[in-house]
Amino acid sequence: MQLKGPVPIAQKTYWLEHAWLGDRVEPGVALGVTADGRIAALSTGADAPPPGAEVLRGLTVPGLANAHSHAFHRALRSTVQVGSGTFWTWREVMYGVAQNLTPESYFALARAVYAEMALAGITNVGEFHYVHHAPGGTAYADPNAMGEALIEAAAAAGIRITLLDTAYLAAGFGEAPNPHQLRFSDGTAEAWAERVSALKPREHALIGAAIHSVRAVPAGQLATVAAWAQERQAPLHVHLSEQTAENDACRAAHGRTPTQLLADHGVLGPRTTGVHNTHLTDEDIALLGGTTTGTCMCPTTERDLADGIGPAGRLQRAGSPLSLGSDSHAVIDLLEEARAMELNERLRSHARGHWTANALLTAATADGHASLGRPDAGRLEVGALADFTTIALDTVRTAGPLPRLGAETAVFAASAADVRHTVVGGRHVVRDGAHTLVGDVAGALSEAIAAVRG
């Protein structure tokens, strides 16, 4: 990804003690950043910091991309660990929190959640947003007040966002929305498209689309959402085959799997990402791979909700690019998501080494950003956005291995707690483990969660 035309002059220089460059770790990397927040120069072999350079000790990697988030689910952490149940009983608890959200309380909660993400090295979030209206389904004076609250929350927390505005129109196949879901629904896909068309992108925010699931958008309206995204060349995400019950209901209603139904209505393709993709047939995998539809795995949520282990390896081999998300935010730790994808596959297959550390970091960086409509992020190279994060190599978790094994250390030993710095657009958002814009992230989380818990 090289800049075309004259190379802009670097306005600031960072010296990276160690840097992951996609296929290797290099010591002593000097990285120049332009005034508009892109990488203008990158050179290896810089044994000492250049004069005036800002020093980042540890392993610097491209900023992590959280490709699937429901920000308000952060309020469920630990609360939903009491007792037992299923995805469907968990959903009832989730509805209770959703009912208490207002534009003001959602801004406060999302700002704190996105600040937690920045502390974890995340520079870009894909927010799968479906709480659109007031309880009962009445539109706010600004019909996009809730989406705007999320966009502003990301700005206040210093990270980028792709708002994946979600069509959610039904409770199930042939079922009207239940009382909890009324505030999610625009009534029809045409009304959804009219509302979301009023949202405008800005420097830190892109606007994409989402189909909540095949059970939540009637088959005859899937093409409307897909066409909206196609016209704008926007990302399109969809929850896909997360639950066997959804597969069974789809077969009963349409005589085909959810993947086949999406294919029939033009939803699949290189700008589309299926989230979870857990319970798939061989034909489903071939369809997703053959259309280069992406797969976003969310292992910490999939294990928390007892969803199952998706066929990530088979999907990637078939041609489906992999990305990662923290989904319900049982934890917010993209390094753990990367590690869990490999370790889940080991448990299922009784074999090790399905992905290299480099491949797992690519899923957490370049491929995640691409799924969110930012192919110019996720790489430390000239022309890319100057979004990166530094992982300490001297903590109790990361001390000991040789620095050249930094990728392996990051994926298989480090955690979000080891993130030392996060830089977005060339500017520090997290410095020495402290957020520069949100002074007390834990306090902000506690206050915001208490306000929506009810």
Sign of the CA dihedral with 199 first, then 204, 206, and 210 last: negative
Q: Which of 129, 237, 276, 354 is catalytic?
A: 276
What ranges make up the beta strands (E) of 277-328?
A: 294-297, 322-324
Do 365 and 356 contact (CB within 8 A), yes or no? no
List the 272-276 sheet strands across, edge first.
64-69, 122-129, 160-167, 205-211, 236-240, 272-276, 294-297, 322-324
Residue 84: Cβ-neighbour burial (10 angstroms; 0-12, 13-18, 19+): exposed
In Å, how far are 17, 28, 62, 158, 210 from 55, measured between CA atoms? 7, 10, 16, 21, 40
Structure tokens at 422: 């996060």
What ranges make up the beta strands (E) of 34-184?
A: 39-43, 54-62, 64-69, 122-129, 160-167
Backbone torsion region of residue 187, taken as left when φ is above 0, otherwise alpha when ψ lies between -120 and 50, otherwise beta: left
Q: Alpha-carbon distance 228 to 221, whole Å? A: 11
Q: Alpha-carbon distance 306 to 89, whole Å? A: 12
Residue written as tokens 């939540």? 216
Backbone torsion region of residue 426, taken as left when φ is above 0, otherwise alpha when ψ lies between -120 and 50, otherwise beta: left
Q: Alpha-carbon distance 394 to 86, whole Å? A: 40
Q: In the 8-state DSSP scheme, what is residue 139?
A: P
47 among known catalytic residues: no
327 among known catalytic residues: yes
Sign of the CA dihedral with 329 first, then 335, 336, and 342 last: positive
Q: Which of 165, 284, 304, 327 is catalytic?
A: 327
Residue 303: Cβ-neighbour burial (10 angstroms; 0-12, 13-18, 19+): middle
- The DSSP line for 102-128 is -HHHHHHHHHHHHHHHHHTTEEEEEEE
Nearest to 334 by CA among 371, 374, 368: 368
Nearest to 10 by CA among 383, 430, 378: 383
Q: Alpha-carbon distance 67 to 415, whole Å? A: 18
Known catalytic residues?
Answer: 276, 327
